[in-house]
Structure 1
Amino acid sequence: MPAREPVRLGRKRPVPSCPNPLFLLWLTELRDEAKEKGLKIYYTYQKAINSLNKYPLPLKNAREAKILQNFGDGICKLLDDRLQKYYRQHGSNASIHILPETTPPAVRFDDNNLAPTKKKSAPSKGDSGRGEGEGGGKKKKKREYVPQKRSGGYAVLLALYRHCQMEGSKGYMFKLELQTEAQPLCDKSFTVPDLGSKYTAWSSVSTLIQKNLLLKTHNPARYSLTEEGMALAERLESAERGGEKERDREGGGGETRDERRGGRGGEGEKASYGDTERAEEEEVLDLTQSDEEETEDVLIGGNIQCKQELVKELQRNGVNFDVRKLNVGDFLWVAREKMDPVPGQLRAPCGRELVLDYIVERKRIDDLCGSIIDGRFREQKFRLKRCGLRRPVYLVEECGAAASHLSLPESTLQQAIVNTQVVDGLFVKRVQDVRESAAYLTVMTRYLNKLYKNRSLVTRSRELEGDLSEDQDDPSCSLISFAEFNHGAVKNKCQTVREVFARQLMQISGLSGDKAAAIIQEYPTPHSLLTAYDRCSNELEREKLLSSVRYGKLKRNLGPALSRTVYQLYCTKGPLT
């Protein structure tokens, strides 16, 4: 019996990762051409590439691609034109689901010549910095891309990998949570560029997407690792733990982490860095019963690493600062009692600290856009209005060229800013950049120093916040202690049923904080509301139960539409339609 030949495992032809390789090839060419010309449509092509990479089924023509996200009429028409040229070149029966034998993977279609042509390569030194597959530096281009240790790309890959290893992980992360998790793994800020630069650590995400290591999908954006990204992140994690040192080209991150750990819990520049990415500013005024003592101005800021430029501007303006964590808002001012040294003690005892009635929430326009999309905007305004301070300020920073890449139209953002002042009653101050933000905070510091100078200040409880005077020129001298204010502003503290009920109501579209407050004033708990529904005699009466509830300063009615929505939410059995 003749011996059988050894069985050869494997495929005759490598299966492409995308079932639509020609469309993917043409989109990549369009993207590269747009990038070379500096056109913004480059980002549109990149989004279309990401959508096509995820689609698991073959497309028969370009019109079918309209079902995919980021595929509009324009892109589909371009693909259809190229498809017709391709059929004329290779025949009407040519398959579009595999690359033709004569077409190598790295090709460029010339619009003036229907035949695919290889990308040009030149040995000159000037071409060494071109994109992948172009001329010059062939050995360098063949090396696998590995992000530098403690860079933005390195931190993003590790943060996503560790998230995926957690039990119950959803396999993706939103931008803000990804930035929060990746920041401790990176030496640069993910939100604020270094001095003299317009790039942050987050800028490396586009490189990860281009290298097919990261996927960006949905709106709001969801970020997840590809198979290649998961494999690379696993090796980076092993190297981080000391198991492997492959491609570990920079190892100076330990000192930075130790310095950050060593900086926690101190005072001044060594004050505790909070989990927020924003700076908290306070002016420290004298807390005294005497009208003759002078005051000293001290600014209490936040994460200096993320706000270097702001801190430098405040230093140039002669404003002293300190660093603390605030549970609501970005900047506020406190009055600190001056204490005389005690004989026999090295340091003077700590004086009381009272919070002035002014608090500032700083919003870059891109952060404002993100907070509107993910729902933080309404909650932040609600918490700011309920923090116990009567002069909340919204400081909106335009942030220059970054405003041209926002995911919401400008009209929507302008309407949100107007509503913040007109509907929510918060004072809005608009500035162009960090320098103007620092200038505004400096002027406010000097103004408040003069306003509260030579005044006797007393402590009040936060429960009395509704009894404050509304006269702007006669500020209240009855103030909340800093400890009570910050403790009361904790976001994830134990909440009462009333507070949870208010948060539930605010999740309804169109139901603002004032409207929720008016409802819980009448019905403090869901049980009391359901009991009121049970007392109604018919369905129509239940739907209109809340329509006459008055809210806000103008005491307007809640209206039948919102009343019906609330009723349906709490009384409909089964899923809502």
Structure 2
Amino acid sequence: MSASEPHRRLGRKRALPPCPNPLFLRWLTELRDQAQEKGLKIQYTYQKAINSLNKYPLPLQNAKEAKILQNFGDGICKILDDKLQRHLRENGPDAPIHSLPEGAPPAGRADNNSNSLAPTRKTNAARDPGKDKGGGGRRKKREYVPQKRSGGHAVLLTLYRQSQIPGSKGFMFKMELQDEAQLLCDKSFSVPDLGSKYTAWSSVSTLIQKSLLVKTHNPARYSLSEEGLALAERLDAAEQGSEARGEGSQVQEEEEEGGPGVVDLTASDEEEEEEDRTHPAKTGDSQTETKVDATGSDPQTSRKPNAGLLLPGTYEIVLCVDFIETTGGGGSSHQRKQELVKELQRNGVNFDIRKLNVGDFLWTAREKVAPVPGQLRAAVGRELVLDYVIERKRMDDLCGSIIDGRFREQKFRLKRCGLRRPVYLVEECGAAASHLSLPEATLQQAIVNTQVVDGFFVKRVQDVRESAAYLTIMTRYLTKLYQNRTLVCRSRELEGDGASDEERGSLPSCSLMSFTEFNHGAVKNKSQTVREVFARQLMQISGLSGDKAAAILERYSTPYSLLSAYEQCSSEAEKEKLLSSIRYGKLNRNLGPALSRTVWQLYCSQGVLT
């Protein structure tokens, strides 16, 4: 190609026009590359600014004019203005600012993968090789490789092995990633060591800074970058090699060969150690505490795609009791709660008291983990939630919850908790029933609606002893039901993930959520989406149940979409009947004109609801 021919990029039909602001483009590229070398997240901000500048066809007289472009904030504009003033001082006030100085390399167009400083660094290294080979110069920068059985090492291996499973979704959510990676890590992903506030999960920030891990979406999805995939593949190959020949000889042979793809699994990276000493808050992955077994790898590390399974015989069924059901209250209420605990103990039920964010009782499959000799804390086994959750209601409590509106909200939250078999345990209150604020017929109708309309299984008992007997029988039934089943951990964020028992037929396996993910997702006052707030608004309307609200949300997921539909109606009568034909519930009934008119009045009129 002659010098007079325009420069063309491969794959493009026409040459791109040159950027009219090459100085600003050059300075932004340098800033991005410097941030990339240091692993700073601001590199992505600089890259976005570069993309915006490349698209702008007009010359800029100063950086303040760039504020009209996307991703140009006060900080970037101030940096560019300072560089511009320095440029004018060094080259004179009349120096051109829309062309590069003579002898300077062309700025070109900086793409996402470009690195304008790479040729300069390579040239400098070739000009002075002594700096990389001993002497008084700086040592060659080593590749970052997380220590064996550290948090970063476990996360990379887990994501790589999950990606090798046929039909893999290509990413993992936080809870399932922690559960899988815990098997490959000596440090806990949830509980910090004594005297420290960091867990093994803290190393994820280091992987993201090193561009080995990519975090996207909300809820967060974690996947490997191209560099992370290559490193994880080498780590996995080294793990398999160490299992076959012994870890020490494998690493030594690879170092003696000196070939490509050498991975040091035992020595920590010098640069990372120095970074931990100077900036301990960045990673929190205490690499100096990682233990290496010189005789070989832990048998648990050999579990690859089936690491998320709980095989029959490796877990036990445990009843979880909300701590509110055992403490609090005064007088007879406290005595009843203590009587429940004593009855469960007397019946030999294996139960655990903890805080449940939804429901009063549920069951988990808890992995059996043998204690490790010489280790202070017992290893934390995985815990999956069975598809049964119980909300316990005394008649007086049911009466109060109906009056203050908690009853509908509780049913709505139980339906959304992710467990497929919700149960209402209704307990009579004896002589106290005559002093209730609502008629008995109203309470009985509410119980029938809970079973027939809302689809809950309702179990009625006389007193606390019968409640404890029911929980005991259910615990033994579930222990028998799941004794030969292989349990698979599913994620709540994946809608429709995991089939029900009926859909699976006679297959002795089922998919369940982890307890941590279930309880976190059931937090009552957590940040809510517009859809969730909209559902709560609708359920405040008298006669609009959870099923009816869900049916409206399927067609109009936000207030904006509903208001837009009202605006498209040609008459007031059409607006009133907009929602009347929406079908809801198992019986597939119409919402009806009365509720449709009430919703329209609520969102489109300023008068009193009729």
Scaled by the length of structure 1, the TM-score of the pair is: 0.48
| Greater RCO structure (CA 8 Å; 6+ sep) | 2
Scaled by the length of structure 2, the TM-score of the pair is: 0.46
